[in-house]
Chains A and B, each alone.
Chain A
């Protein structure tokens, strides 16, 4: 049979496998939709924080009252984040009790804050006031000890807190939840290992009768392996593209517009996933179901470590055991998208791509050796 026919038939076989289709496309789409529903709700709430209502109780005893007034005016002005109402202590207490304000700023000889509940507004208010107190202490120390550096420090302090987030040069998204989607893509690509495992089964003489039948035919074994491998990678790349389109277009998650780079990363992630499946399928000698279980569990573990279930996990690992992030395919795949779509860092992207190439070569090398040793 000519190579193209082998490739075509294998493509058909893989595409028609409903179970694999579910795990590599439908399941990630469902999970992505679930993420979208959950995160968009949170983002919406965050976006509707609006101005923070706060009460100010000022006894007029504060030493640097003039500076404090200037600061409070700046944060409660037209462009400020706080709606400040100067009231008496009793009024402030009843307003806090009634929920009209989220907190009370008590200014006597020192500044203190009073809250009834915890929440995002309270956190923002506390952060702003803590920041002011810290900077004020810093400036007072400078005036006392190094007055010549005062100008530089004031400039630095005023630049430090703009309370705005600077967007990267990449046209991507700084949505804090986007990392979940990248981990999701990594999961989908690594679930492509199912295709690798199916291919491994269909070429091993001791694993299936179809493999026996293929091996008694006068078509070279490696020709079959290559056709199978390319078909699996093609299918996985198509499924990646469909998942990406769904996330980007249908769910509106902004993943940037560097489509060429994105496709390359998706393609190599697919190659890595398929290669991983071959390795599991060829190296582990046990029942098909058990192999499937190992593959699925190990993939989910990798994705867990890459932050699919707990967002901070990858950063925790980066701090405590960074080597895991370097060899975990899910983390590398996720990083390749993150570097591209969030940081716009092509160097970091290239490093990830290179790592994926190395992983793929290692997986494929192991597979070829195993297949060559297959005859008992």
Chain B
């Protein structure tokens, strides 16, 4: 696979504040690459530097094998951007907005017309072509925002938190759309606060904090980086907390806590963990209700790597 984006030792300062600290990144063709990190971690700064919107102090950025600059129009022509905030003109209709932004890339009017139609169909805004943005709901606005960024059929698409403040149904539609764009050949760089989204659609993920790339890999690779196996939660109405120390002595147990009538046990590696825990409870006549067991999530990975909850940083 060809390298689409190559960022080497990027340093970006805002006066005394170091926004990006020798940041490195490589995105391959055909990937949906997730950039994960709390607010202020440097995600948007990274994207702005790659897009030529921000100057940087040191380092090198290559896109499609060429050094990126604000005047590299051939590279820019192949890039689409879906901004974090809805970036459209309030005075233009849905159709006109898409036509305008598509027109910044495509000079041929008939081709543009065709692309605009396809973009409208893609985000399913056919019934709202003549609506001005003020008349659209939050979900529809997000879809318009996406259509404006992808109408010119870019090979590389940056999506900066495109699902913020979107209802679950619209969010699923958007995620499906992103997968479709990817299957049509676009490489996608996706930033989000929502772990589950990143986990669901991204083929590789980079975890950022304080301007640094802390870990990079597929979700499985990231989960393997940390010393966690499954997480078990058991509903227990009447639990004697003296058992917590005994449970900690069971094989592979990493941590134990009893919160809100639920016993949470985290394991490292190993098998038969759940069976042994349930046997332990039965032997002591502890009555329990629902039992849940799940593998570690990216939340756990993020917590392990950065030492904090992702949403704490928001």
Contacts and interface: CB of A to CB of B under 8 A. Distances in A.
Contacts of A205: 53-54
B229 interface: no
A13 B101 CA distance: 13
Interface string B70-109: 1001101101010111111101100010001101111101
Contact of B51 (A6, A216, A376): A216
B81 A213 contact: yes
Contacts of A220: 73
Given A1-B107, A209-B87, A210-B87, A9 B79 contact: no
Contacts, number: 77
A212 B53 contact: yes
A375 interface: yes
Contact of A13 (B84, B86, B91, B109): B91
Contacts of A214: 104
A214 to B, nearest CB: 7
B53 A216 contact: yes
Given A13-B92, A209-B86, A209-B87, A217 B101 contact: yes
Contacts of A161: none
A12 B96 contact: yes
Contacts of B87: 208-210, 212-213
Contacts of B79: 216
Contact of B83 (A12, A209, A375): A209
Interface of chain B, main secondary structure: loop
B55 interface: yes
A215 B92 contact: no
A16 B107 CA distance: 25
Interface residues of A, number: 26
A169 interface: no
B104 A217 contact: yes
A174 B81 CA distance: 60
A17 interface: yes
A375 B53 CA distance: 6
A252 interface: no
B149 to A, nearest CB: 7
A1 B116 CA distance: 14
Most chain-B Cβ atoms within 10 A of its Cβ — which of A208, A214, A215? A215
Interface of B: 14, 48, 51-55, 70, 73-74, 76-77, 79, 81, 83-89, 91-92, 96, 100-101, 103-107, 109, 148-149
Given A9-B103, A210-B89, 13 more contacts: A1-B106, A1-B107, A12-B92, A13-B91, A205-B53, A213-B81, A213-B148, A215-B53, A217-B76, A217-B101, A220-B73, A375-B70, A376-B54
24 contacts: A1-B100, A1-B103, A1-B104, A2-B107, A9-B103, A12-B92, A12-B96, A13-B89, A13-B91, A13-B92, A14-B91, A212-B48, A212-B53, A213-B87, A213-B148, A214-B104, A215-B70, A216-B53, A216-B76, A216-B81, A217-B76, A217-B105, A218-B73, A375-B53
Interface of A: 1-2, 5-6, 9, 12-14, 16-17, 205, 208-210, 212-221, 375-376
